Structure 1
Amino acid sequence: MIPPDVRKITTATEAARARAFVAHLAASLGAPEVERARFLTALSAQLRESLGQGGAELTLTVQRPGQDKSVRVRAVVRPATPAPEQAPSWHLVLSCPGSMTQHPSLPAHPDATAPAEALLAADEETAAVLRRLDESENLLSLHREELHQTNQGVLALHAELDAAALTQQELLDAERVARGEAEKARRLLTFLANASAVVTASLDHEDIVRRLPELLIPEYASRVDVWLFDEDERAAGNSLHSAAAVAAARTGRPQHAGPHPAELPGADDLPPSALSPDRPLLCVPLTVRRSLGVLTLTAPENGFDADTSVMLLELARRIAIALDNALRFEHHRDTAEELQRAQLTDLPAADGLHLAARYLPATRGLNIGGDWYDAFFQPDGSLLTVIGDVTGHGLRAAVIMGQLRTALRAYAIEEASPARILTRLHRMLCHQQPNLYATAMIARFRPDDPQVTWAAAGHPPAVVRAPGGAVRVLDDKPGVMLGVPIPFEYADHTTEIEPGSTLVLYTDGLVERRSEGIDVGIELLAQTLAALHEPDLEDLDASAESLLKPLVHESERDDDVCLLLCRTAPLPTS
């Protein structure tokens, strides 16, 4: 440890010399310029403060190098006349990288140093500090510029992120809109497909019209009106419909009538209708090959939009096709039914025998079938009752039925035996109509003869009800169907019929059930026949209706039904 340097500071000159000495010492020990300037500035400030308080004692100590190889200069300033209330002594330490080997003791006091030299030395310290300050300012300016550039980059990045976020939001909005439009289009197409399937599934125009409100209300319309033209009706002269419907009928173009133009695709805009001033109307002509009518839709709460109106126009086109098909089918069906009924002759009146017949066409298809019944006299006075069924449906079956009926009547003039008549019919059908078959049953009644002669060709068995209510089935094995490509000779069968008995001839449409077979139907027919009361059989037409009711369902039928009742006169009461 070098002995400390202690000096009294009572004047400004002593303080300046002390400062110059400390500056010389710090410079000789290699203290850095900035740290040296800070140390000297702090020391000078403390010395000035001490001069105002009556002077001070400055103690300088140079400590040997420690573990970090640096020399430390320690300055302590104590008041010259300390008082109890004064602050403790001030001290400050300066680290210098210099070596003590070069300076084993404190340098001599530079008391003779000129004030100018000390001032210049102080300027050197100030210059060093200013140089460091300039370097710091340059570095700070550089950092400030870098920070500015960084901020500009951050701002640009934020702008890009904002633009990207805005673009992403716009894309999400566009995707949401596209998804909504796609979902709406899918929903409209699904409804169009389902509604088209409903309207095209029926061949009854009234049923089609009845289903439209169920399909369209309330989502696509609040009200549905269908105006179908009569054959000789002129649309322009009907004042019971809206002006828009009349305009649609006249022009053949869809019309939209509302308080504001809707500009719907394919539709003309008209003023609001007096029949619906609050809600718009969309009137679409139902046109295929001809004008069938007008479909008028009253708008739902949200009105008609472009996409929905396009779907409704397409649905109206399909409704028009379905109505046209239904009307044409109904016309052909009615014509065919009248044609077929024209071939069913009136039943003859015979002594001792009452006849009643019923014919019900199939409710599915064109209603043209091959079922028929007939009853006529032979030259010898016998009465032949016939029932038959040509396989299949359609015009060909009806034509073959007419041919068989005509041929059977012709053969009955020459042949008395039902079996011989069926044999000749079988040969004729095999020769003229191969691959077409028929069933038939002939029952022959002779005047005043209790026996009935009959023959069957693949036909369901007849049922007989005795006067007491007993029922039996004529289940003798029938011959093959007419037209089967094999030679066959039919045989006659004889059954005794008591007076007051009822013989029931029928076609398979009366007793055949898809899931149950024909035997169950025959059993039901026998039970129903047995349940009839004897007085009821006096009115044979009413008895025919009573037999049909439990056997023929009111729902749609796939096959025709023929029923022929033959009732012998009961014995006279004494």
Structure 2
Amino acid sequence: MTHTWQIITVVDAARARIATARLAADLGVSVVDRTRLVTALTEQLRQCLTKGGAWRLALGTTPPSRGEKQARLWVTVRPDPDERPQEEPTWQAQVPAPERGGRADTVAVRASPPALAEALFSADDDTARVLDALTEQEALVAFHREELHQTNQGVLALHAELDAAGQAQRELFAAERAARTEAEEARRRLTFLADASAALTASLNHGEIVRLLPELLTPTYARTADVWLLGDDEAEPSHAPRPAAAVLAARTGRPQYAAPQPGGLPGVDDRPPSALHPTRPLLCLPLSARQVPLGVITLTPPGDRWDPDDAVMLIELARRAAIAIDNAQRFEHSRDIAETLQRALLTELPATPGLQLAARYLPATHGLNIGGDWYDAFRQPDGSLIAVIGDVTGHGLHAAVMMSQLRTALRAYAVDGGSPGRLLTRLHLFLHHLQPDLYATAVIARFRPGEPVLTWAAAGHPPPVLRTPDGRVHTLDAKPGAMLGVPVQQEIEDHTAPLPPGSTLALYTDGLVERRAYGIDPGIERLAEAMSTLAVPDRNGGLEGAADGVLEPMLRDSEGEDDVCLLLCHVDGEIAENAGTAGEAPVP
């Protein structure tokens, strides 16, 4: 159903407006939509009246279209087609209409003033309802605004807490990284200190330690490193100029730092810059052991200055280096004393007609270079010559003293005569009663002038090796006696072997033939091979060269852990008619 009105005057416009409002109310249009529709229509009607002329307002409803549940109320305003038939509607609007139909009297509006006044007051009712709804909405908006404000405050507080937590976490991460870096630096310093200490203490040569120190420190912890040992004139003249800080460090035993600016290093005294090196900071660390100054190590920094923790580590390294140098110097002093004592205990070989003697003694390269290996050769009252070689168990001064006592006792017993076996038996009793916990091995050979027979006896010692004039080598391995000093009663037997002129006898200690890798028997075989290739000794010291010729191949694989002793005895004679086999030396 469609209703139309001709709008010419303001009364026509008011009637149309009132009819539209009533029909919208009758169709169940909501107060808000109705008010919006009526307000928009009023504005449009005001414009039409302003323009003047006749206008046609059409008002009606349309049924629900497909997909919609509600009908719609529509309104159009256009020029009156009777006057301007070609013009299109200038304005239109529509709103949902929940209720269908609408009473016919709804749109019948009288033009009397009472009717218009009543319609005006009815419009105010809609306005009041809208205002009430607006008030409710404003209250609801205010409530939500406050709720939103509280939420925003909570969000801001949460953001602040999250930011604070993030900052705290970042600080924790930074502290963790710093702690990890510090721990890594500490581990690096401790590792370097341990490795450097091991390298310094591995040597017992103080000169080698002094050379090693700068290599360890440069370039990581120092650009240059200079070691000054007090009283070491061989390394450097004592009158060489030294920085005042180094002299002060040696005198006071406290580390000194000489630079234009204070170093602030823990445990280090700050000093003015050195006159010798005014532009370079110097860190002078004393080398002291047993409260005795040994020297000073002077360092220049790898960069601008030292890290305080590095300085603490360098002070500790200097302390350990001083202990290593002190131990090396004390060892070298003891070694020199021991070697002097050892050489003093060795015998000058006697000159004997018809017999050449040559001896070699090589101390172990490890330890104090003093042990129990010994050799001796002397005449008996009957004119025979006793050659002996022995080995006291152990090393050090105790073994050397016992070796000296055994040598003296043997010479004393030999004055009474007696065979090699008898002499060894008496030495066995002597050592057993004198030192029950010390043992020795020995072999004694006796040479009689003009007698082509060798008499010998052994007590737990490697067997003698005899080279005859025909170039053959014999190992005299007849059953020996037990070691000297063992808690058993024994009579050591004598053994004999032919000794034609031109024969050479080798007496030796186990250091010459015994190796960890293959034992003693292969070593004896190598000695026999070396003896077989000897050149014929002559009376002009040829046996000395033969001794060196035996030692050279035997010591190629020596580890230097044991003393080596060798005694060669050569019986002079005319050169034999038949030379040795090919590759062998001529047989005398």
**Match in the other structure for 2:156:** 155
Residue 111 to residue 62, structure 1, CA distance change in 2 (3 Å): farther
SS in 2 for 1:499: coil
**Match in the other structure for 2:179:** 178
Residue 356 to residue 85, structure 1, CA distance change in 2 (3 Å): farther
CA distance in 1, matches of 2:276, 2:9: 118
**Match in the other structure for 1:547:** 550
| Preserved CA contact (<8 Å) 1:354 1:566 | yes
1:72-83 alignment runs, 5 A limit:
73-81=73-81, 83=84
Residue 330 to residue 554, structure 1, CA distance change in 2 (3 Å): farther
CA distance in 2, matches of 1:419, 1:69: 140
SS in 1 for 2:198: helix
Amino acid in the other structure paired with 2:298: T
SS in 1 for 2:77: strand
SS in 2 for 1:571: coil
C-alpha displacement of 1:378: 0.9
CA distance in 2, matches of 1:465, 1:573: 14
Structure 1 gaps of 5+ residues are none
**Match in the other structure for 1:564:** 567
**Match in the other structure for 2:501:** 499
**Match in the other structure for 1:5:** 3
SS in 1 for 2:477: coil
Residue 537 to residue 213, structure 1, CA distance change in 2 (3 Å): farther
Amino acid in the other structure paired with 2:315: L
1:92-171 alignment runs, 5 A limit:
92-95=93-96, 103=103, 106=106, 108-114=108-114, 115-171=116-172
CA distance in 2, matches of 1:300, 1:261: 17
| Preserved CA contact (<8 Å) 1:65 1:100 | no
1:221-260 alignment runs, 5 A limit:
221-230=222-231, 238-260=239-261
| Preserved CA contact (<8 Å) 1:288 1:320 | yes
What whole-Å deviation, never above 9, does each CA across 1:94-119 have from its counterpart, x for those lacking one? 44556769x46546423224344444
1:150-549 alignment runs, 5 A limit:
150-230=151-231, 238-289=239-290, 290-301=292-303, 303-534=305-536, 538-539=540-541, 540-549=543-552
CA distance in 1, matches of 2:63, 2:204: 122
C-alpha displacement of 1:417: 0.8
C-alpha displacement of 1:30: 5.2
Amino acid in the other structure paired with 1:443: A
| Preserved CA contact (<8 Å) 1:364 1:556 | no
**Match in the other structure for 2:18:** 20
Amino acid in the other structure paired with 1:13: V
SS in 1 for 2:437: coil
C-alpha displacement of 1:248: 1.0
C-alpha displacement of 1:73: 4.3
SS in 1 for 2:299: strand
C-alpha displacement of 1:556: 4.9
Residue 112 to residue 282, structure 1, CA distance change in 2 (3 Å): same
Amino acid in the other structure paired with 1:543: A
C-alpha displacement of 1:568: 1.9
C-alpha displacement of 1:384: 0.7
C-alpha displacement of 1:254: 1.0
Count of residue pairs the alignment pairs up? 570
| Preserved CA contact (<8 Å) 2:231 2:238 | no
Please give the TM-score of this superposition, normalised by the length of structure 1: 0.90
C-alpha displacement of 1:267: 1.2
Amino acid in the other structure paired with 2:224: R
CA distance in 2, matches of 1:526, 1:391: 25
SS in 2 for 1:293: strand
What whole-Å deviation, never above 9, does each CA across 1:55-101 have from its counterpart, x for those lacking one? 12233336789999977544343421364763336443444556769
CA distance in 2, matches of 1:10, 1:526: 153
CA distance in 2, matches of 1:337, 1:524: 29
CA distance in 1, matches of 2:360, 2:245: 49
CA distance in 2, matches of 1:546, 1:300: 54
Amino acid in the other structure paired with 2:80: A
SS in 2 for 1:150: helix
**Match in the other structure for 1:35:** 33
Amino acid in the other structure paired with 2:6: K
Amino acid in the other structure paired with 2:30: P
CA distance in 1, matches of 2:313, 2:556: 39
CA distance in 2, matches of 1:61, 1:511: 134
SS in 1 for 2:511: helix
C-alpha displacement of 1:338: 1.6
Amino acid in the other structure paired with 1:77: V
C-alpha displacement of 1:202: 2.5
Mean CA deviation greater in 171-180 or 113-122: 113-122
**Match in the other structure for 1:57:** 56
Give the aligned CA root-mean-square deviation in angstroms.
Answer: 3.1
Mean CA deviation greater in 238-247 or 404-413: 238-247
Residue 122 to residue 107, structure 1, CA distance change in 2 (3 Å): closer
